[in-house]
């Protein structure tokens, strides 16, 4: 039978961004996949070399537009280390709470779009976006921005927390927990969803390490690795939470890891709220073009982002980065696709793509 | 830890036997006198990390390094990235396609000699 070549993307509803796959099909079976990225390459690393330290955070937020706080926070925290600054105690908890809310918001987009891609038209999608919107509204009241917050400042946040911050955060976690528990039946008792994800795109733990996958893809293959646990930053060492893992390594396991992580995040938020001092002393340094001078040592900083491990390698100059490198989890996860998609059915490709949860802007940078 | 180019494969095998079998990233930094490649490895069981640094002279003849795809398949895209962004030749790999597709590749963008605002031709 002659081979058929299909172009998936660059603009395709299932790629959730500008990605291009050239798929060679033998009947309905995938013979070969070639991944083309770079459509969103902005040269952020080069751009950062021409900007002062605190001009950069707004670029960071556009790396992963579904979880902007994660990169913003990692970057500012890296600069704090380069400059030798200490984060305020209350601000550490506040950042943790905001980051975990951000993680839930990002995971909700994943749940909604995955169920949509799997033919479960719109119900879970609408629900998850409803819950995500309640988080975005909360984050907007805290930071002043709805999608892009840019509210992390050196040593703290951009302004004091609202007076009713704790009450609202507790109430939000309660409502999220109740509502998201309801998703489970919608997803797992749906035979179409289970059929299309179970046993699809299996990655063994050995493959996961060999191909360097990261985040929920790594944990779904049975490897218990979470930066919040293995290399705790802020006050993550003081809160109790479980690293969610699955052993199957398929698309369903990746969904399951994400789903369970939402409840761990809710638990982390509650514990952090309990421990957070009441002094509301979270205001950081105002943005100034000239910041304190950086020390000459190289800084390597990492954090557990919603889409995998984010790492920044910073070679500091006095007032701007001499060289800065960003490693995102999605970059290695997408490289994995070519290897696991050989010999599968074409329809399964979208289940794998959806379960990887890629953001094109985060890959290209 | 800093190593010589010739010792790369041997060092990687030694590290693998010590449990550092997860490649976190490969990147490069251009210093005034040299170009440094950084390989970052991790041991996922103990959560330790180890960086291997390799210094190259900045002459065209000397800007090469052996590919480590055989030892670490995850190095594939990172090698493509540093090869394109810094103009480093990676020996022993077949993929020639660039990540940025239309970039002509003659003037590596992350090198300090890169000229801002210059117009580049597309590769046909």
pLDDT tens digits for A148-186?
A: 888 899 899 988 999 999 999 999 999 999 999 988 888
Residue A8 lies in a domain: no
Residues of A in contact with B29 (CB under 8 A): 315, 322-323, 325
Strands B2-3 vs B48-56: parallel, antiparallel or unpaired: parallel
- From the list A36, A230, A313, the residue facing B38 with the nearest CB is A313
Residue A26 lies in a domain: no
Residue of higher predicted confidence among A174 and A201: A174
Contacts B84 to A, Cβ<8 Å: none
The candidate with the shortest Cα–Cα distance to A229, out of A220, A240, A219, A218, is A240
pLDDT at B123: 57
Identify whether A220 is part of a domain. yes
pLDDT above 70: residue A251: yes
Q: Cβ(A41)–Cβ(A316) under 8 Å?
A: no
Give pLDDT tens digits for A40-80: 888 899 889 988 888 899 898 888 888 899 999 999 999 99
User: Taking CB atoms and an 8 Å cutoff, what residues of chain B touch A339?
Assistant: 73
CB contact under 8 A, B22 and A309: no
Contact A212 B51 (CB under 8 A): no
Q: Is the bond preceding residue A10 a cis peptide, omega within 30 degrees?
A: yes
Domain B2-91 has CATH 3.40.190.150: no
Q: Taking residues A274-288, report their average pLDDT.
A: 88
| Binary contact (A323, B44; C-beta < 8 A) | no
The answer, yes or no, to whether residue B107 has pLDDT greater than 80, is no
Is the confidence at residue A331, as pLDDT, over 80? yes
CATH at A355: 1.10.645.10
Number of separate domains in chain A: 1
Range of the domain at A294: 41-364
Closest in B22, B24, B47 to A311, CB measured:
B24
pLDDT tens for B3-41 read 888 788 888 888 888 888 899 999 999 999 889 999 999
pTM: 0.91
For chain A, the average pLDDT equals 89
Domain ranges of chain B: 2-91
A197 domain residue, yes or no: yes
Asked if the structure places residue A16 within a domain, the reply is: no
Quick check: A327 and B24 CB within 8 A? yes
Mark yes or no for CB contact A332/B109 under 8 Å. no
In the three-class reduction of DSSP (H, G, I as helix; E, B as strand; rest coil), residue B80 is classed as helix
Kindly indicate whether the ipTM for this predicted assembly is greater than 0.85, answering yes or no: yes
Q: For residue A5, is it within any domain?
A: no
Q: Is it the case that residue B119 has pLDDT exceeding 80? A: no
Q: Per residue, what are the HEC states of chain A?
A: CCCEEEEECCECHHHCCECEEEEEEECCEEEEEEEECCCCCCCHHHHHCCCCHHHCHHHHCCCCCCCHHHHHHHHHHHHHHHHCCCCCHHHHHHHHHHHHHHHHHHHHHHHHHHHHHCCCCCHHHHHHHHHHHHHHHHHHHHHCCCCCCCCEECCEECCCCCCCHHHHHHHHHHHHHHHHHCHHHHHHCCHHHHHHHCCCCCCCHHHHHHCCCCCHHHHHCCCCCCHHHHCCCCCCCCCCCCCCCCCCCCHHHHHHHHHHHHHHHHHHHHHHHHHCCCCCCCECCCCCCCCCCCCCCCEEEEEEECCEEEEEEEEECCCCEEEEEEECHHHHHHHHHHHHCCCCEHHHHHHHHHHHCCCHHHHHC
Of the residues A211, A320, A358, A363, the best mutation for testing chain B's interface (the one with the most B CB atoms within 10 Å of its CB) is A211
Cα torsion at A222, A224, A226, A230 (round to 10°)? -160
Chain B (72-111) residues lying within 8 Å, Cβ to Cβ, of chain A: 72-74, 76-77, 98-101, 109-110
Is A57 within the bounds of a domain? yes
Q: What was the pLDDT predicted at B122?
A: 60
Cβ contacts below 8 Å, chain A against chain B, sum to 62
């Amino acid at each position: 039978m002659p081979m058929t070549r299909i172009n998936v993307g660059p603009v395709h509803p299932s790629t959730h961004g500008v990605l291009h796959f050239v798929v060679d099909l033998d009947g309905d079976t995938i013979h070969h996949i070639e991944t083309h990225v770079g459509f969103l390459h902005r040269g952020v690393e080069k751009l950062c070399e021409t900007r002062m330290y605190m001009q950069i955070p707004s670029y960071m937020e556009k790396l992963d537009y579904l979880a902007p706080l994660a990169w913003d926070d990692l970057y500012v925290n890296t600069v704090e280390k380069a400059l030798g600054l200490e984060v305020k105690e209350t601000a550490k908890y506040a950042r943790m709470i905001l980051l975990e809310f951000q993680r839930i918001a990002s995971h909700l987009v994943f749940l909604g779009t995955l169920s949509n891609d799997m033919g479960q038209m719109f119900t879970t999608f609408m629900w998850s976006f409803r819950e995500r919107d309640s988080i975005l509204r909360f984050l907007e009241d805290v930071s002043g921005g709805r999608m892009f917050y840019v509210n992390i400042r050196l040593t703290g946040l951009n302004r004091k927390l609202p007076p009713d911050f704790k009450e609202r955060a507790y109430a939000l976690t309660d409502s999220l927990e109740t509502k998201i528990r309801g998703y489970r039946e919608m997803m797992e008792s749906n035979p179409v969803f289970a059929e299309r994800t179970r046993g699809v795109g299996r990655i063994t733990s050995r493959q996961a390490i060999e191909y360097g996958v990261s985040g929920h893809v790594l944990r779904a293959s049975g490897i218990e690795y979470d930066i919040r646990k293995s290399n705790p930053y802020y006050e993550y060492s003081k809160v109790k939470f479980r690293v969610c893992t699955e052993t199957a390594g398929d698309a369903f396991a990746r969904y399951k890891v994400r789903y369970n992580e939402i409840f761990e995040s809710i638990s982390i938020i509650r514990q952090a709220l309990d421990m957070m001092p009441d002094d509301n002393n979270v205001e950081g340094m105002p943005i100034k073009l000239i910041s304190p001078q950086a020390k000459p040592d190289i800084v390597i900083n990492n954090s557990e982002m919603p889409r995998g491990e984010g790492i920044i390698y910073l070679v500091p100059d006095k007032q701007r980065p001499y060289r800065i490198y960003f490693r995102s989890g999605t970059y290695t996860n997408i490289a994995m696709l070519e290897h696991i998609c050989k010999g599968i059915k074409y329809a399964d490709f979208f289940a794998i793509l959806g379960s990887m949860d890629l953001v094109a802007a985060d890959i290209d940078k | 830890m800093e190593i010589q180019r010739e010792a790369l494969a041997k060092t990687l095998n030694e590290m693998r036997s010590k449990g550092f079998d997860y490649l976190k990233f490969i990147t490069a930094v251009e210093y005034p006198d040299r170009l440094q490649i950084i390989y970052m490895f991790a041991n996922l069981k103990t959560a330790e990390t180890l960086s291997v640094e390799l210094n190259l002279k900045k002459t065209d003849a000397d800007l090469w390094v052996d590919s480590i795809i055989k030892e670490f398949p995850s190095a594939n895209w990172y090698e493509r990235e540093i090869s394109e962004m810094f103009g480093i030749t990676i020996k022993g790999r077949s993929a020639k396609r660039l990540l940025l597709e239309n970039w002509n590749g003659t003037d590596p963008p992350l090198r300090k000699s890169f000229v801002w605002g210059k117009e580049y031709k597309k590769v046909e």
